[in-house]
Amino acid sequence: MILSIASGKGGTGKTLVATSLALSLGKQVQILDCDVEEPNVHVLLQPTIVQSKPVCIPVPKIDKAKCTYCGECAKVCAYHALAVVKKLVLMFPELCHGCGACSYLCPAKAISEEGRKMGVVELGYAGEIEFVQGKLTIGEAMATPIIREVKRHIDPTKSVLIDVSPGTSCPVVEAVRDSDFCLLVTEPTPFGLHDLSLAVDMVKALGIPCGIVLNRSGGTYNRVEEYCLEVGIPLLMRIPLDMEIARLYSRGVTLVQGMPEWRDRFLELFHTIEQIVAEHRQVRT
């Protein structure tokens, strides 16, 4: 099963939930950190990295001897990464998405491709937990090629946990796509609710079943619970507002390490999700 952990709003506890699930399962589990802009799973799991691979996207390289300056490449480039001015081809590699249209369509066959490094993928282990993370190079804008590369390491024979970046736009969609279930972590505030509703719309657009973890629960604000009932999304776990949990997290200690009684609750959460996914599959077939 592929389970992604997303949220809409940042700082609601995605990584806390993802790492707690991984530690509770212990083995036959893979955790993928797809928050490639700010990956934090490693802070909590302290994995041993055994391999680091650059992630490159193919960008055009012009062979000046063959180029006829016809301008076709600039015309086909949807991202304005190429411009042809008289006897000069200007290239803006940071705009290139690596689609390959220019090299394929160049009538003079003057364009080859070379790799441009956008970040790295690192592989390792934390105990028996298999760890994969992507890291976007500082100053680079495009996170999705790194996320795609991280996801190529999915081992479908294992339980796969994907930690997702906050928000609802392209990096989130790329990370959540093809999951069997998406767990949305939120908090009982108007911000938590608003961004949760955006995340629910995004997950629905992708056709993925979802459930909710309410972090820092307690207090007087109960609109998140009301929302869950209204839209018929299961509220699968509550983690109370507890300064001790926050202090443990500040030191890089996950919930199940600091408070071992949570292990069973996370296992139960995982099994509940497995049941929902099995039912969902039955309905679809």
Partner 1 sequence: MKEIVVLSGKGGTGKTTIVASFAVLAKNKVLCDCDVDAADLHLLLKPEVKETHEFRSGQTAVIDEKLCTRCGLCEDVCRFEAIKDLKIDSTACEGCGFCAHVCPESAITMEENLAGHWFVSDTKYGPLVHARLGIAQENSGKLVNVVRQNARSIVQKEGFEYIITDGPPGIGCPVISSLSGANLALLVTEPTLSGMHDLERVIGVCRHFGVQPLVCINKYDLNEDNTHRIESFCQEQGVEVISRIPFDNLVTEALVNGMPVVEYSRNGVSHQIEAMWHRVHKSLGKE
Q: Which residues bind partner 1 (CB under 8 A)?
A: 8-12, 15, 35, 37-38, 40, 43-44, 76, 78-79, 97-101, 104-105, 136, 138-143, 165-173, 177, 189-191, 194-195, 198, 201-202, 205-206, 219-221, 243, 246-247, 249-252
Alpha helices in the chain (DSSP H): 14-25, 41-45, 72-76, 101-105, 144-151, 170-176, 190-205, 223-231, 243-250, 255-258, 262-284
Q: Give the nearest distance from C-beta 272 to partner 1 in angstroms.
A: 26
Taking the least distance from each CB to partner 1, the nearer of 203 and 269 is: 203
Backbone angles phi, psi at 145, to 5 degrees: -60, -35
The C-alpha atoms of residue 168 and residue 186 are separated, in whole angstroms, by 14
In the complex, least distance from residue 180 CB atom to partner 1, rounded to whole angstroms: 17
Residue 218 tokens read as: 């307690």
Q: Which is nearer to partner 1, 70 or 278 (CB)?
A: 70
Shortest Å, Cβ 268 to partner 1: 26
Closer to partner 1 by CB, 11 or 260: give it.
Answer: 11
Alpha-carbon gap, residue 30 to 23, rounded angstroms:
10
C-alpha angle with apex 229: 228 to 235, nearest 5 degrees? 45
At closest approach, how far in Å is the CB of 87 from partner 1?
25
CB 57, min distance to partner 1, A: 9
Q: Which lies closer to partner 1 via its Cβ, residue 15 or residue 159?
A: 15
Taking the least distance from each CB to partner 1, the nearer of 7 and 24 is: 7
C-alpha 133/C-alpha 49 separation (Å) is 10
Q: What are phi and psi of 116, to 5 degrees?
A: -120, 125
